[in-house]
Structure 1
Amino acid sequence: MGKDVMVLQNNNVQIKYTTTDLDLIITSGRKEWRYDKSYNPYMEIKVNDENKKINFQEAQNISHTEYKTGLGEGIKSTYSYFIIKGQQLDIAFETLVWIDNTYGDVHFEFIPIREMKGMIRKVVWPGPFEFNKTGSDNYTVVPMMQGCIIPTNWKAKVEHIDDGRYYSRDAYMPWFGQIEEEKGYIAIAETPWDGGYDLDHEGTGHTYIAPYWEPSLGYISYNRKIVYRFLDECDYNTLCKIYREYIKQKGKFITLEEKNIRNANVAKLIGSPIIHTNIFTHIVEDSIYYDKENPDNNDQLTTFGTRTEQLKKLKEMGIDKAYVHLDGWGKMGYDNQHPDVLPPCEKAGGYKEMKELSDTCKSLDYIFATHDNYRDYYFDAETFDENQAVLNENGNVDMEATWAGGKQTYLCTTFAPYYVKRNFELLKNNGIELKGSYIDVFSVVELDECFHEKHKMSKKDCMDKRTECFNYVSSEGILTSSEEGCDWAIPHMNLVHHAPHALYPNIDTGRSRGIPVPLLNLVYHECIIIPWTLSKGGWGIPVPQDGFLYALLNGGVGYLSIEADKEEIERNKIVCQLSNRVAMCEMVSHEFLDETCNKQKTVFSDGTFVEVDFDNDQYKIGNL
């Protein structure tokens, strides 16, 4: 090799690093993985209010040295002294690429040494690998919502939903991978809070995917780490099982069986249909949903008493157990005046009839749960205080008027646990016995950061405070749930209300982004209950496929309308019976049974298998 190439060999993995152009080739077993030719390691920086892209090679001082410890060996590179238009930037950092002695994993670390606040906006490193060989065995694996694979020959463009951020709809789990003729890799972000992935698939036989890192409170500030494992024989099932083992080693894999020891209502939740119903909707004029043409449509009310009678009727129709999720129970209804939602809606019957509803659920053996929200912070909330709102990097409080309650900002999560305790104690003191709670948006919207000097909060701090809210609710013997399946929250929840597939052009309806595969369930099936809409198309269900078949394939539960007819009830019972059987089992594997990908099969650890045929709306449940 020439003097500009450094070679490292460890654990059957070889790294060739060209120091002149920072090209990287990793050889593992029978496969060579090389940086995409279009890639140069780079940062996006902000200088004099202009955003610029600067390549690592533009550093005036660059050095490369070998690195060796008792854990492994690698290559350390140091970069400093950048100049843009004659201005010297006080930026210095190191990159470290090393192979560990234990697994032969390749670790990438970006290590900040000196930086100026607000200057580094994004770091894209390490780079994407060349990935353009066509064929059904060549695909990119992305945990976008429930999950998908993107074959290199997938004809459609695949776009981000949430800018590729980890812990968003783009990545319920902070990893991705690629497989070429059964040889592949998985990349797991070990510091995911301020990171994500760039994805470029234009439908032209090429897929570009690479991690990126964003600042925390204006600085890169801490080491950013991602680890790659290269495999000679694998598929997307294999990658899921590797990540599953990784989570177990971190102590974050907590099963429903373990959760049931802490709260016996978990067992009651298994096999229960999810009844999602509402009391009061009041849409204010500021909301984008306000109907100017038909003002009467902006208020819809159903009393607590009416819901009580509807649940009694469902019991008579054979629904032995259920999870009742109640929206719009607060004083001004759904998505209004959070966090000051008490007392309950007086027009609907107030505390008296809400208590009767909760008592009735208890007598029916139904789990009674309420919708709540401790992020959306409404300007007309009774105790609204701008000093408790999230302050953005520019020193401003963000404002939007999307939801029914109109103008709002975001509550700094450092205060959220106090409001949760305040409201739950008030409900308890007024005789409302909660068995379940849904804290809206916590497990799907991006982690917030707050620049307020008196309650500064990083995204990791935000995650910790959201966790604190879940843990308080759980400590009260109440089942915990939130919106979607971001995996940082799964150890602290019993139920998520959605974890279906990502659709294009929007989540509500359309075709799938890539080929849907149940990545989340392959990792976490026996850790969380996931309901499905039992209808064709709709939220997260690719048109024209049937959510009923997805519920069976995934061993989940179903949504049930509060005014369900016999046909809907019978369809739901089939799903719930299977959930009773497999909810506490690992999903061992998923496979496609034909080239159309419309015939699929899952296998669970008790030997149960489910086969579905989306073309003919058929299914088979059996035992191996």
Structure 2
Amino acid sequence: MKNKFLLTIVLLFAFSHGYAKIWKLSNQNIEVSFDDQTVKFSFLDKRCNKVWKQDLPTDGAKLIKTTQNKENLVLKFSGKLPFELVLTLTQEAAVQLEIIADKKASMQDFAFPSALQAPDKNHYVLFTETEGLLVPVDDTNYPMIDGNMYFCGGGTAMSWIGMTDKDFKTGFMAIIDTPYDAKFVTKRANGLISFEPVWQPSMGKFGYNRKVTYHFFDKGGYVAQCKEYRKYIWKQNNVITLKEKEKRFPAISKLIGAVNLYVWDAARTIDFAKELKQSGIDKALFLWDANHTPYPVVGYDKMLKDLGFATGAYDIYTDLHYRDSINYRVDLKGPMRFERTAFPGLFKKLAAINKDGKTYFNQYGHTICPATVQPHMIERMDRELKEYEHETYFLDVYQANGLFECYNPEHQLTRKQFAEQVNKNLQLIEDKYGLYTGGEWGADYVGSNSIYAHGMMTLQRTWWGKEIDEKGSIYWSGDWKSNPNPSIMNRSSVAPDKYLKYSINEYTRVPLYELVYHDAVITSWRWEDGNHHMPAIWWKKDLFNILYGTAPLWSLNKETWDDYKKTFIQSYQNICPWLQKIGYDELVSHRFVTLDHEVQESIFSSGKKVVVNFSDDDVTFEGKNIKARGFITFENLLSKSHI
């Protein structure tokens, strides 16, 4: 008798108009059915008797042959890009699809396979574009994912996306195993949101075989999907824990349980740092941007270290400007001697070039090819570190702007090579200077080369928008016009309705990123969207930090500190002592305790857990009272209640 775990192959003929054939692969967990007339798949999860179907036909490809051998189903397609699909059913309730074609064949973007639809509206799509969001499949307003992989303006930060039922049990996820020339798109069809992979050319060609794997779940919901991805991506990208990384960079210990600070103007003095210390702010990472004056006093980092603080600076090596097409003077001894984004006369040498011979351009400038910039990194860092002995650099944009192809023959890069070169640039900072790095957003292709990510807590696609750009309104986020004191960093505003509905809504926010990376990457809010920027919801941002085990972020000038000093201190006291206890832990699980999602629980690998109450009323949990807008921690089976 065959072992029950061996794959059972069933070939079933079902006759209909055109003599269609239904091909089936089956094992103890999953049955795959393929209709060679409609060219649609369906997947039966035998463990829960749930069927996931393709409701839309495959676009732009014509099936010409179907064959079956052992554990594979092989489909051959003709069309603009002739290709072969090999479908393999694994023992882990997963189905891998590999697309094989002539590597030299020209191609354009194409979506395959087409989306699997939710059986009904009682499901969520798991959006992995930032920290994580549960988007109801019948939602009609949230912006769709349509950007390139690793692009914060509409792509995903991780190379997976999923779907779960509203009981957080059954579901499926798709992991793109070859993510560099691929992306996910979401779309609305038949009144429901679905998603599918889109394959992109590599330098205009097919280039290499493409793979996507679908995992099916009969229990565990979004937590199980995150843990499946964690198991895959940590091995794939050589991710290590913060504790392991700290062996090489001991200064990381000062980051655990620290508030992340950007300081401006008069807050860039050691007296200000001493005031924070005297106020009970014991652990903080101080960062400052050398594009803005005044610079701190020479030796500032050493003074901060003497106070026990972590020290670093903002940096950026992605943006060129038209001024860089000519030579201009940079005063290497002046007040802007370490100015970022200043590359006199180097525009053509540094710029990444697209297939049309043009640069990649957005509102912040033209994209630098990462293969060109290392000599300029070294030149500036060598000078800067003589005056300021940083422990870390925050590298802006690299993890947030997606990957680009460069067609310049002197430094040609595929998207994969672009990603590899970014990692080499991060490793340069580690290897040459002994400094660890962080970055904007949290694209996971960098692995453990970057260990803190500013902006993942901000669900920014519903933060950006016309409301916050309208000067004179209560929603205006500010601007950069004042060099020493940009209002976008330091002013207070009111959250727009869209922000309240999605970005800060406890009903639909979910810590997908933390369930994968909590013990490897420290995340926070964006620097223009810190805990304090919208005072009316400051308390809620703090609660999310506590619940997810993520760092608070403050952007401070002296006036902002003075105006809200009491609240800053209370915020620190609520969040940071807790983070110091669980900062190295894996986030093992998260759940909604109540049906309205206003009471939520997180459990960490040390056994510690926290329960947060977002409601305006006190609640009782396991016999303990949790105050309105409060939380309670459980450590060694003991509980502590907090406001």
Task: Indicate the TM-score class for this superposition, using the shorter chain for normalisation.
Answer: 0.7 to 0.9
What is the CA–CA distance in structure 1 between the aligned matches of 2:606 and 2:214, rounded to whole Å? 31
SS at structure 2 position matched to 1:241: helix
**Which residue of structure 2 aligns with residue 277 of structure 1?**
263
What is the CA–CA distance in structure 2 between the aligned matches of 1:188 and 1:611, rounded to whole Å? 31
- 1:512 to 2:502 alignment: yes
- Matched-pair contact (CA < 8 Å) for 1:372–1:439: yes
Q: Percent identity?
A: 22
- 1:450 to 2:406 alignment: yes
- Matched-pair contact (CA < 8 Å) for 2:249–2:436: yes
What is the CA–CA distance in structure 2 between the aligned matches of 1:534 and 1:546, rounded to whole Å? 12
**Which residue of structure 1 aligns with residue 477 of structure 2?**
none
What is the CA deviation profile of residues 269-314 of structure 1, one whole-angstrom value per residue up to 9, with x for unaligned ones?
Answer: 1111111123xxxxxxxxxxxxxxxxxxxxxxx379x533322322
Describe how 1:94-133 pairs up with structure 2 within 5 A. Answer: 94-100=84-90, 102-113=91-102, 116-117=105-106, 120-133=107-120
One of 122, 128, 134 as aligned partner of 1:149 = 134
SS at structure 2 position matched to 1:530: strand
What is the CA–CA distance in structure 2 between the aligned matches of 1:602 and 1:528, rounded to whole Å? 17
Q: CA deviation at 1:114?
A: 6.2
Amino acid at match of 1:107: Q
What is the CA–CA distance in structure 2 between the aligned matches of 1:477 and 1:573, rounded to whole Å? 31
Amino acid at match of 1:163: G
Using a 3 Å threshold, how does the CA distance of structure 1 residues 398 and 236 change in structure 2: closer, same or farther? closer
SS at structure 2 position matched to 1:310: helix
- Matched-pair contact (CA < 8 Å) for 2:406–2:412: yes
What is the CA–CA distance in structure 2 between the aligned matches of 1:114 and 1:20, rounded to whole Å? 28
One of 32, 35, 56 as aligned partner of 2:53 = 35
**Which residue of structure 1 aligns with residue 312 of structure 2?**
369
- 1:197 to 2:181 alignment: no
More strand by share: 1
Q: CA deviation at 1:535?
A: 3.9
Describe how 1:592-607 pairs up with structure 2 within 5 A. Answer: 592-607=592-607
What is the CA deviation profile of residues 336-378 of structure 1, one whole-angstrom value per residue up to 9, with x for unaligned ones?
Answer: xxxxxxxxx6xx36xxx54232232222222221111111122
What is the CA–CA distance in structure 2 between the aligned matches of 1:410 and 1:472, rounded to whole Å? 20
One of 419, 424, 431 as aligned partner of 1:463 = 419
Unaligned runs of 5+ in 2: 1-12, 15-19, 324-342, 469-494, 617-628, 638-643
**Which residue of structure 2 aligns with residue 486 of structure 1?**
443
Greater Cα shift, 309-318 or 501-510: 501-510
Describe how 1:273-422 pairs up with structure 2 within 5 A. Answer: 273-278=259-264, 302=265, 307-327=269-289, 329=290, 333-334=291-292, 348=294, 354-380=297-323, 381-400=343-362, 402-403=363-364, 408-422=365-379
Using a 3 Å threshold, how does the CA distance of structure 1 residues 150 and 303 change in structure 2: closer, same or farther? closer
- 1:6 to 2:23 alignment: yes
One of 53, 73, 76 as aligned partner of 1:75 = 73
- 1:440 to 2:440 alignment: no
- Matched-pair contact (CA < 8 Å) for 2:237–2:446: no
- 1:557 to 2:561 alignment: no
Residues matched between the structures, number: 538
What is the CA deviation profile of residues 454-493 of structure 1, one whole-angstrom value per residue up to 9, with x for unaligned ones?
Answer: 2111111111111111112222221211111222224112
One of 492, 497, 502 as aligned partner of 2:459 = 502
SS at structure 2 position matched to 1:121: coil
Using a 3 Å threshold, how does the CA distance of structure 1 residues 580 and 505 change in structure 2: closer, same or farther? closer
- Matched-pair contact (CA < 8 Å) for 2:138–2:193: no
Q: CA deviation at 1:438?
A: 0.7
Greater Cα shift, 529-538 or 315-324: 529-538
SS at structure 1 position matched to 2:519: helix
**Which residue of structure 1 aligns with residue 224 of structure 2?**
238
Which TM-score applies when normalising by structure 1? 0.80
Q: CA deviation at 1:610?
A: 1.5
- Matched-pair contact (CA < 8 Å) for 1:480–1:494: yes
**Which residue of structure 1 aligns with residue 125 of structure 2?**
140
User: Please, what is the CA RMSD of the aligned residues?
Assistant: 2.6
Using a 3 Å threshold, how does the CA distance of structure 1 residues 610 and 562 change in structure 2: closer, same or farther? farther
Which TM-score applies when normalising by structure 2? 0.78
What is the CA–CA distance in structure 1 between the aligned matches of 2:239 and 2:36, rounded to whole Å? 40
What is the CA–CA distance in structure 1 between the aligned matches of 2:359 and 2:634, rounded to whole Å? 56
SS at structure 2 position matched to 1:437: strand
What is the CA–CA distance in structure 1 between the aligned matches of 2:232 and 2:373, rounded to whole Å? 30
What is the CA–CA distance in structure 1 between the aligned matches of 2:549 and 2:600, rounded to whole Å? 13
Using a 3 Å threshold, how does the CA distance of structure 1 residues 324 and 537 change in structure 2: closer, same or farther? closer
- Matched-pair contact (CA < 8 Å) for 1:526–1:586: yes
What is the CA deviation profile of residues 92-113 of structure 1, one whole-angstrom value per residue up to 9, with x for unaligned ones?
Answer: 211121113x424200112222
SS at structure 2 position matched to 1:418: helix
**Which residue of structure 2 aligns with residue 254 of structure 1?**
240
What is the CA–CA distance in structure 1 between the aligned matches of 2:104 and 2:424, rounded to whole Å? 32
Amino acid at match of 2:238: K
Amino acid at match of 2:457: P
Q: CA deviation at 1:543?
A: 6.5
